[in-house]
Structure formats: C-alpha cells, structure tokens
Amino acid sequence: MSDYSKFNKKKNSVGIIKKKHVVFSDKIKLESGMLFGPISIAYETYGTLNSDKSNAILILHALTGDSHAAGYYDEKDIKPGWWEFMTGPLKGIDTDKYFVICSNIIGGCMGSTGPSSIVPETSGHYATKFPLVTLGDMVTAQKKLIDYLGIKKLMAVVGGSLGGMQALTWCVKYPKMVVSAILLATTARHSALAIAFNEVARQAIMADPHWNNGYYYSKKKPNAGLAVARMIGHITYLSDESMRKKFGRRLQDKNNVSFNFNTDFQIENYLHYQSKKFVKRFDANSFLYITKAADYFDLAKEYGNDSLVMAFSKALAKFLVISFTSDWLYPTYQSKLMVKAMKKSGLDVSFCEIKAGWGHDAFLLPSERFIEMVKNFLNNTYKEI
C-alpha cells in the first residue's frame, strides 16, 4: 500500500466543486410493482463531456457513501471526496480525459430522495412509509440522471462493494448503454454471513427506544442503535491483520485494565470514535433500507433464472474484476465465480486479486498497483472507442 503522504491534498485535484440536484416529477415503477415519485437525485460531475459524449464514466458509491467522490466544496474544506486518490487530473480516473459522474443513491440521505426526505405537499418525512427499494430501482433512477445529461452510452461504470453491485445491475439491465465495467471488492449476491451481519445491525437500530418505528425526525434520534450498527459494519470492513497491526491488545491511555465496563482497549475506543462520527452524518432509516436492498440483491435470480451465466449473457460490456486478499466480507472466491460465469458467457474479462491487508475497505485506500490497473483499463477502453 502507498503511504498517504504521497497523495498531497491539492495535487491533481478537481478543485472546488458543487453538488447539484435534479428533480424528476414523473413516477418510476419500482421492482416491487409500486409507482413512486417524484424523486430528487444529488450528483456531482468532474471533467468535460466531449463532443460526441463518448467519454462519460459513472462512479457508483458504496453503502454509506455519497456523490462527493472527489474535490472540495470550498477553500476551507479539509476533507476531499471519498475517492480523491483515484479521481482527478492524471489519476486513475483521469478527469482531464473523462467526464465523471457520481450520484447519491435513492434511499440514501445525502441529497437524493430517501426516508428522511419530505413527502411532497406535506411537512412530514417519509420515514418508514418510504418504499423498500432495490438496487435495480437505484439504477433505474441513475439512468434517468444519465438520460437527463444527454448521455446515450457510458464508457464505464465503476464501483466497489455496493457500488459494484450497482455496476453489475447496469450491465445486465441496460447492456447497450455500458461499454465497460470495473467491479471492486463486490459480489453477485450476499452470503448468509453478510446477510446475518446486516440483520444484527438493523436489529440494533430497531431496538433503540428512540427509533419509534422510523418516526424520529422531530424527536430524539436512535443514535445509540445506529452507533452499534456502524460498529458491527465497520468490523466487517477491516481484517484481522489490519486490526492486529493497528491496535493489537494495546490499552487506551492507561497502563492497566479498569475492571469495569469502561473503554479499556484501543480497538474499543476506535469503534466508538467511528460510530460517533457516523451518527452525525447518516440517517438510521437509510441504513435499514440500503442494507435490506443489498441483502435482496441476487444477480442470477433476478436476471438469469438462477444462473449467473444466463445473467451475464445479457451483458455486452468488457469487465475488470478486482478482489483483495484480506476481504472476508466479499472474499475472492465470489469474484472468481463471477469471472467464471462471464467467461462462459463469452465476455471479455480481466481479473486480479490484489494483496492487501486492509480488508474489505482496501478499495478505498490508495495503492499504486490498484490505481494503475484502473487507469490502464480505462485508457484501453478509451482507445477502443
């Protein structure tokens, strides 16, 4: 892994950017059969769309991500977008060459319509009256944004984790619109283990006395439950190796254990710190809805009559699939199952397992090899079109 110091704050950044919003007044048909709308989508763009609109790349964020993939909101902003090391001039996703789009998923809480949004013509929030949306529904909403931008074909869809699941959905749901796809630390469907962790996290939120069946927006929020849910999730994003190297069994600001239930270990303190940050920026209901959508996702069942080969037979894109050795949430065998099915479907696919000790979150951390692989794949795609 590269050292963070190699990625200077302002070096090759897209600079100051602005979050945009678009509202679609017509209703979309959800996979549940329900008609839902209007919907608002928050998005950001970087770079310039070329004259024939052939250089567009759609970045798809993970579970608790947002549309802010790169750049800064103002000069005082000390934290750039979540994929700053990958997205910008001369970087893996080169904004001097490509027109890059990143939008917040519906069901989220970072500007797009979700449970925390106000119901039109009322003063109340959707809360749990918000419909259960699927990844297919999220992609349907994204397509409306791409249509709105006047783009007929995406040069690439790129996503890690839940973003990779969205990219997969794009490839089989709108195959003629996708030239290539980069899938990072992702899966074609959740294992029982992944579903189990999500369910425990959801139960932590719903067991909070302040959850109030989702109607907490004008009251005290279920922060304790959401904090526990985040701690559970965060553990799955790390690895035994990364936690051992970073924390071990070291105590937090003390020489001896307290012999009570106070925070003793550094790993405990770290999880509490991460959870406190999380509850300040994320909505508990959105966490419930998005994890449920992830659990429902099953590419083979939804698009291939329970066959991954049949599902991928619908795709036309060429693929780059990358897994990480220490990712135990979506381990490499799941990527290999996808690659095998892609090859049986006659697709052009490249695969690489990158050695990394940081667990599932490795796709969110800078690595020279990782960046170069993405850059070369996109360069080759760009040359081909």
Please give the positions annotated as active site. Answer: 161, 327, 360
Cβ neighbours, 10 Å, residue 50? 13
β-strands 28-29, 318-324 pairing: unpaired
| C-alpha span between 371 and 98 (Å, rounded) | 16
43 - beta bridge partners?
A: 20, 103
Distance of alpha carbon 67 from the chain centroid = 10
183 - beta bridge partners?
A: 159, 321
Query: What is the sign, positive or negative, of the torsion defined by CA atoms of 194, 197, 202, 203?
Result: positive
| C-alpha span between 89 and 15 (Å, rounded) | 10
CB-count burial class (<10 Å; 0-12, 13-18, 19+) for 365: middle
Of 63, 155, 170, nearest to 110 by C-alpha is: 63
Tokens 């951390």: give the residue.
365
| C-alpha span between 299 and 297 (Å, rounded) | 6
